[in-house]
Each structure stands twice: as C-alpha cells, then as structure tokens.
A and B are shown apart, each in its own frame.
Chain A
Amino acid sequence: MLITALLTLAALAAPPHLDALSARSTVELDRAALSAPTWQERHDARVALAWRSAPDEAALAWEGQPVLSRTMVPLFTSPDFHGPVAGVVLVDRLRRGGVPQHWRGGLTQAAVLAGGVEAEAVIGLFRDEPVPEARAALLDVLGKAEPGLALAGLAEAMEDESGRVRATALQVLAGRADGAARADLVLRGSSDSDYEVRAAAMQAIGWLGLADLWDTAVGGLSDPEARVRMKALRALERLDSARAVSLTQVQAMAQDPDKSVASVARRLLAR
C-alpha cells in the first residue's frame, strides 16, 4: 500500500525541469503566465500552474500513451489529452519530453486541439520541430491568429523544406479572409517542385478570388499532376465560370486521362 502511494506521488510529481518554477508562488506564476516577455517563459509558468492546480490531469497528459489510428499513426485522442491543462503540458512534452519522432505529429495535433499552443508560440515551436507533420499541425493555429503574426508565420512556412508543410501553409492562407494580401506566396507556390504545393496554390487562387492570377491558374490546367489540374479547373470556375468554359483547355479536359478531372470538366461544361 505504502509503495503504491509513493509510486503515485512520484507519478504526480512535475518533471524536474520545472523544479525552479515550482518554488515560485502562484501569484508570481499567474503574473508570468500573462506577461513574461517571451512565449517560452509564459508557457513555462502555465505548465507550472497546471501541475500545481491539476496534478492528476497534468500527469496523464505528461505520461499518456498514444493509440493507433486506422492507418497506424500514433494519435493522442483520448480524453486524457483534452482541456487546457493537457494542452500546456502536451506542448511542454513536445519541448522537453523526449517524444519519439513518430509520435510528434499526433501529439502536436492534440496540443493544438486542447488549446495549448498560443499563436505567439507557433513560430518558435515550428522552428524547433523536426517532424513535418507536426510542423503542419502547428500551422492550423495561424488560421485564426492576428494578421501580422499569421501572415509572417505562413511566409516562413513557405520556406520549409517539406512540401507537405508548404502546401499546408497555402491551405491555411487560403482559409484566411486576409489571405489575398500574400498573393505573392500563392504565385510562388504555383511553380513549386512539389505537386501538393502547386495544387494548394491553385486552390488558394480560387478561394481567395485572386483574379490577377487567372493566367497562373490557366497554366495549372496543363500540369502533369491530375490534382493540380483539378484544383486549377476549380479555381477558374470560382473566379469566372463562364470565362472558364470558353477556354479550349477546359473543353479539352472533358477527355482528361484522369477520370475525376474529366468528370468535373464535363459537369462544368454542361452548365
């Protein structure tokens, strides 16, 4: 019994990197959580507060194991990883917890969903993050962040070595009401070496109504990748469907070798 109790206490103890913060008062930590100069300091204070206020929840989030998704991707979807306490602890885990690389995408997603990633932290976490899926998951936070922070972050993400991350940056940009302000990123993406990025650029042209990039979208119609052709076709349809139908390239796409592209083209032409 005693051993069990000791083990439980040990399990609920905050990790050693929080020892210094644990000595500080709750008032001091509250203040730091709100107004410390760097996001790292603010986050550290929140983590310490989380362990102080809800050690059980914090311990579960700190030590919890993933489950396998349907495609064998480790995910942290248990309710143990929900809520604000879990959110800040999961971010702490990403920063200092020795998380295996193949867990990081799922863990990052859980941290974002739990509200543990503040917009100011995204860039810092992004720069330190080794796994593309995790970097892509972080970008979701920028979808609703204030414009300056978000657009700067997405521009940095467009420099990422991973096509997945660059494509995600354009998808997030396309979903922002102010995304058209960075049409330059869309234009750059349209000639990316990665087809997913080119497809995301075509989608962004349509979603953001970038009429100035009409010719860029027309160029996408002859992309070797079907997904890019599809997104280009849809972009033109969104921009001006009557004008799109008049294009010989669009008319030819009714016989596109890709069945889905041909199907969409036929439906557009039939309107």
Chain B
Amino acid sequence: MTWLLLVLACAGEKGPLGEDTGPPEDGGGTLSDGGTSGDGGETTADGGGTSGDGGGTSGDGGGTSGDGGGTSGDGGTSGDGGTSGDGGTSGLHPWDGLEGPVLGIPNLDDDDEDDRADWSQTRVSSAEDDLSVLTLPALGAGEALELRLSGDTSSVRVWRDGALLLDSGSPSARIEGPLDGLDLRVEFSTFRVEALLDLSIEGVGAWELALRSSPLILNHHLQDGELQNAMSYPGAYGNAAMLAGYTEILGGAFESYPAASYDYDVWLQDEIEYGTATAPGLRLDVVLDSIRTSRGQYLDGLVQTFGGPGLAVVTYGSGMASSQDYFGNLEISPPVTVDGVSYPYGRVYWGYTRTTRPHLDLRTALEDQAVQEPFELDVGWLCVGHVDEFMTFLPDPDRDKGFVLVVADTDLGWEFLESLDPDTSLSKYRSTHGYRTVGDMQADSAMQRENEDMQAENIEPALEIMIEELDLDEADILRIPALFEQSRVCGAALALIPGTANMTVYPMGGELHAFMPDPFLREDGVDVADDPFVAEIEALLPAGIVPHWLDDWNTYHANWGEVHCGSNTMRTPTASWWDEADHLLGVD
C-alpha cells in the first residue's frame, strides 16, 4: 500500500484563501499557467513557485510536473508516491503531490571507515549512502518554506546540501524561494523511528510527512544465503574438514577467520545474529552482537572488525551474560500467518530457563521491532540451553507453507538405535561418550529413560508452543531421530548423536543446501554415505534439500555444539515492510 500522509492545509478542505478545494482527486484547483506534462515521478520545475492568489492551490510559476516531490533512497529512485493522477495538465499544485512517508534505514554503518558509526558524526561524508532523499518541488520567488520536525526528533536529522537543517536542537527551519526544487536528505539514528516533518508555505498550504525508519528484521532460513562464515581451528583435531565442506559447496560465499586470533573461540553462531534494515533503494546489513563476549575479548574482537560500509554492528544489553544471551538461542521462523495475522518475516523465538532469559534490553528491542513478534521456549533441560539444539526450519517448496519444522525426536532416535547391529564399534563415541559399540548404547537403560523423559517433558511441550505460536499442524512438522545424554558436568542434556537439527540452512540460487553434523554412527573406515543414520535422515528430508554431512566432532560436538553453533549466515533481505507489515507496525 501507499502510505499517504499528506495533509492538505488547506486542511480540510479549505484553500489558502478559504475556499473549498475538495479532495485531491477532485482537482481542487488548477495549475494556472505553467503546468506541464506531469507524468509522474520527479520534479521538472524550472520556474516553480506557487502563489496563493486564489483558486485553491494554483501556482503561477508553473513548470512543475503535476506530482510534486517524492522520497527516495540515495540511489535517486523515486518513492512510492508522488503522482497527482491527472497528468498535471490541470489539478493540483505541485506541492500537493508531495507524498510520504519518507522511509529510511538507520545510519549505523561506517561508510567513511573511520571506525565510528556514521550517525555519531556531525557531518555527512562523501561516502555516505544511507540517507533517504526527500525531493521537494520548486519554490517560487517570494515564497518561504517553513519546516518543523516533531515526534522522535532525537533520532532524525535532515540535511540540506551537506549542512544540518533540522534536528532535535533546531527542529524548525525556513527556506526562502526561489529554488528549482530541493533535495533534503533524511538521516535516522536507529530502527523504527517515527517522526513528522511539517512543511508549509504561507498562502499555499501545509503538508505533513511521516519519517519512518526500518525495523530491524532478523533473517530466517527461507532467505537466500549470501555469505557463510566460521572460525578456522587448525591442527589434527581442528575443523578443517568442516571448513572444506563449506568451501566445496559455497566457494567464495564462505569465509573463515583464524580462531587463534580470538582466544580460540569458535562459536560464531553464539556471538552474532544477522539481520537487515531496508527502505526503497536502501539496504543495511546488521550484525546483532551478543553480550556473550565484550571489550574485544574472544569473538567480540572479530565482531569489532565487522562494521563498515553497509554493515552495522548493534548490541542490546550489557553486563554478565548467561547462555541464554548467546544467539544460538535466538532463531526466527519462516513467514507464517497466525490467527489471521500475517508475519511476513516470521517470528523470533528464544529459550528461557528457570532463572534466566535473554537480556531484558535485547528482548525489549526485539519486541519493539513489532514485525517479528517474539515468543519463547523452555530450554532449561539442555546443558547449553539454546533453541537451535533441537529444532530448526527447512525450506520445502512442496508444502503449503513452504517450509517444515524439523524437530529432534528421541523416541525415533531410540527406535533407530535398536535397529542397528549391536556389534558396530563406535570409536568416536567411545572417547567422547563412553560407548564402545552400538550394543553399549542399546544396553544403557538409564540413557533410554532419560531420552523418554526429554521427549515427553521437554520436546513435546516445546513443540506444542511452536504449533500454537506459529499456527502449525502435524503436516508442517518433520520429526527426525535424535538422542541426548545427561551430562554430569553441567547437570543437563547434551546431544549424544550429533544433533541433526543443529544444522546450517543455506538456500542459494534455487538450491536448498543443508549442512548437517556427521553422526559417525558407523565403524571406522566406513564412508559417511554408508552411515545408516545418514541414510535414515536423508530419507526423511524434503525432496529439494541437498544434504551435506560435515565432520564437526572434535571442534564442536565434543564441546557441546554442532555445525550451526560454529558458523553463521548472512542472507538476502526480502522485506518490503512498508508494503507488507502495516498491520504489525500499527499503521492505519
């Protein structure tokens, strides 16, 4: 939809001289002499100017197309409004075609690469490309445009020719004509800014434009991947095999960074979450930086190098983090409709325990974005306590909703285990979990009961919440075999078979890649393709999924994580929130 916020000054219907103008579509007066072709889009005025000499909104300067100004990103494309509808040969004064809102993105990246967020600077650098352009029609000789900023003025600045025109300290300004049109640049400090820009020309009219910045929209698994990254951990027991697996499939879209430079911290999923802010012609990628590490220690040191042109680093909260503050515990569903309410960018969910939740500042910030209304799951039964440990979403074009919720199922896991040859030796399980053979696992009745309890007490209730909050039904759910074990060191559950649900999902050019942890439920020397667990899972996956099995055992699985925990994905934004999310943003 078009966000038409124009309020005629003549407000209501009264022209500057007190005559009825009627609604815009009625014409409301005519361009007196100079009206030219007005086929939309941009100002072409050469004389401009309007006068209030009667007749509603007529002007005498002429030379402007009928649609007045428009808003656009720095790229100069016009905004979504701005036509007067009748070709400009008659009808509205050019200013009457001025439409809003002005849509933008937060200027939180660092286009001039001076290691400071651009908003924090008191100038607009030549490299700046994150400001929205508000193109105003011509202003006639003797006319003066009065501007006034209101609403969340501390989060908006308006620039004219590189000079600050409006901000919270000087919310009003006056521009004298004549001018051949005017480009103002609107800058936002953060997400979801709501402000108003009142414009008036004495004797002509007054207009009110909404200034809105994008919400922060976190990425979900149906969005194409653009970049996959992970830490490189060298050595005989490192993650070279996993990185090679990513590189083989993703090529230049995969990047790695040396863990040795960051205190051997390999948990990149936990440190950041990627999102975007968008506006017509504008895109800002956002690295949401967890409070997990700070002050440049561990992976915080890496994240501090991420900021730059087009990429902003944002943190909510501070202080001592719990595991629930890590972003393996922050995930996003694909688009859903729940009780008739469409969530075109999915919904955020996180895990909580008896005593902890993600930091209040983070929860509040994500709730304030409004477009991905969060909900939460109990993850207190898990040692690490992250939602990515037991469920995820896979694209599935063959299903009505376009996706399937993948959920660990320990009943299926035990059933599968019992189908295996008990004499199968399991060298990796022996050293990491204390099971020499499949038979050892089958004989562990305590582990069996633990898994029965986890399914009944933890996974099913969590699934019930997912079904309720996302309006799913059983057909939307894919249960996959899984087994956990009770860790004495942490007092809760860890994946016993590497957690398949803890996978990376990477759509790319129509291919749907899933990078999953190698289960190693086979004897040494047997190829992964012949692993019975691999065969079991691949038979369950949606038809379009291309599975890749990565060896994450030493670096991740043995240390309480899997493939997903050790990597991250930047994705292509799909959000046209100004068209799709009015109902969530409270816009009429």
Which of the candidate stretches A16-24, A42-50, A51-59, A166-174 sits at the interface with the other chain? A166-174
Q: Is the CB of B453 within 8 A of A106?
A: no
Set of chain B residues within 8 Å of A83, measured between Cβ atoms: 431
Partner of A73, one of B432, B486, B489: B489
The residue that B264 contacts in the complex, of A68, A168, A225, with Cβ under 8 A, is A68
A263-B464 CB under 8 A given contacts A71-B323, A174-B446: yes
Question: For residue A225, which residues in chain B have a CB less than 8 angstroms away from its CB?
Answer: 354
- Residues 121-175 of A contacting B (Cβ, < 8 Å): 133, 136-137, 139-140, 143, 164, 167-168, 171, 174-175
Chain B residues lying within 8 Å of A68, measured Cβ to Cβ, are: 264-265, 559
Contact check, A67 vs B264: say whether CB atoms are below 8 A apart: yes
B-chain residues with CB within 8 Å of residue A263 when the two chains form the complex: 460-461, 464
Least CB distance, A83 to chain B, in whole angstroms: 8
Give complex CA distance A137, B554 in Å: 21
In the complex, the answer to whether A71 meets B384 with C-beta atoms within 8 Å is yes
Q: Is the CB of B354 within 8 A of A226?
A: yes
Q: How far is the CA of A69 from the CA of B556 in the complex (A)?
A: 8
**Contact partners of A234 in chain B: CB under 8 A:** 453, 456-457
Interface status of B62 (Cβ within 8 A of chain A): no
Complex alpha-carbon distance, A248 and B359, angstroms: 38
Cβ contact within 8 Å between B461 and A264: yes
Minimal beta-carbon separation of B425 from chain A (angstroms): 14
Judging by beta carbons under 8 Å apart, are A77 and B554 in contact?
Answer: yes
B488 touches A139 (CB 8 A): yes
Interface pair A78/B457, CB less than 8 Å apart: no
B461 adjacent to A227 (CB under 8 Å)? no
Q: Quick one: closest B residue to A112, CB to CB?
A: B434
Chain B hits for A164, CB < 8 A: 491
What is the chain B residue whose CB lies nearest that of A67?
A: B559
Determine whether B89 belongs to the interface, using a CB cutoff of 8 Å to chain A.
Answer: no
Contact count band on B: 35 or more
Residue on B nearest A143 in the bound complex, by CB: B446
CB-contact partner of A171 in B462, B486, B558, under 8 A: B486
Answer whether residue A114 sits at the interface, using C-beta atoms and an 8 A cutoff: yes
Of residues A67, A71, A114, A234, which shows the largest number of chain B Cβ atoms within 10 Å of its Cβ?
A: A71
In the assembled complex, the Cα of A16 lies from the Cα of B561 at a distance in Å of 38
CA distance A138 to B285 in the complex (A): 48
Shortest Cβ gap from A172 to chain B (Å)? 8
A6–chain B nearest beta-carbon distance, Å: 25
A75 CB–B CB distance under 8 Å: yes
Cβ < 8 Å to B, chain A residues 43-95: 67-71, 73, 75, 77-80, 82-83
Candidate in B328, B386, B464 with the most chain A CB atoms within 10 angstroms? B464
The reply to whether the CB of B465 lies closer than 8 angstroms to some CB of chain A is: yes
- Closest residue of chain A to B233 (Cβ to Cβ) is A67
* Chain B 383-407 interface residues, beta-carbon cutoff 8 Å to A: 383-386
- Bound state CA distance, A77 and B494, in angstroms? 14
Known contacts A137-B489, A143-B446, A168-B488; is-contact A70 B354 (Cβ 8 Å):
no
Name the A residues within 8 Å of B449 (CB-CB).
Answer: 175, 207
Q: Contacting A167 at CB < 8 Å: which of B445, B446, B457, B491?
A: B491
Chain B residues positioned under 8 Å from A230 (CB to CB): 457
Confirm or deny: B458 has a beta carbon within 8 angstroms of a beta carbon on chain A: yes
Task: Give, as a whole number of angstroms, the nearest-CB distance from B428 to chain A.
Answer: 9
Q: Does A105 contact B (CB under 8 A)?
A: yes
Interface flag for B237 (CB, 8 Å) = yes
Q: Closest residue of chain B to A79, judged by CB?
A: B237
Render B431-459 as a binary contact track against A, CB cut-off 8 A, 1 for contact. 11110000000000110010001001110
Using an 8 Å CB-CB cutoff, how does the interface string of A168-205 with B read, 1 for contact, 0 for none?
10010011110000000000000000001000000100
Q: Quick check: A70 and B456 within 8 Å, CB to CB? A: no
Complex alpha-carbon distance, A109 and B558, angstroms: 12
In the complex, whether B300 has a CB less than 8 A from a CB of chain A is no
Contact among B237, B383, B456 with A71 in the assembled complex (CB-CB below 8 Å):
B383
Expressed in whole angstroms, the Cα–Cα distance for A202 and B328 within the complex equals: 31
| Known A70-B270, A70-B565; contact A113-B489, beta-carbon cutoff 8 A | no
Tell me, yes or no, whether A267 is within 8 Å of chain B by CB. yes
Q: Which of A80, A112, A263 has most B Cβ within 10 Å?
A: A263
The smallest beta-carbon distance between A258 and chain B, in angstroms, is 8
Q: Which of B547-588 contact A (CB under 8 A)?
A: 554, 558-561, 565
Query: In the assembled complex, which residues on chain A have CB atoms less than 8 Å from the CB atom of B434?
Result: 112-113
Contact status A136-B458, CB under 8 Å: no
Q: Is A259 an interface residue (CB 8 A)?
A: yes
Q: Which residues of B contact A (CB under 8 A)?
A: 236-237, 264-265, 267, 270, 323, 326, 328, 354, 378, 380, 383-386, 430-434, 445-446, 449, 453, 456-458, 460-462, 464-465, 486-491, 554, 558-561, 565
Given contacts A79-B554, A264-B456, 6 further A-B contacts (CB under 8 A): A69-B384, A106-B489, A207-B446, A260-B457, A263-B464, A267-B460
What are 18 residue pairs bridging A and B, where the CB atoms are less than 8 Å apart in the complex?
A70-B270, A70-B326, A70-B386, A70-B565, A77-B432, A77-B559, A113-B433, A133-B488, A133-B491, A164-B491, A175-B446, A175-B449, A196-B491, A227-B380, A234-B456, A234-B457, A260-B461, A260-B462
Residues of chain A having any CB pair with chain B under 8 Å: 67-71, 73, 75, 77-80, 82-83, 105-106, 108-109, 112-114, 133, 136-137, 139-140, 143, 164, 167-168, 171, 174-177, 196, 203, 207, 225-227, 230-231, 234, 259-260, 263-264, 267
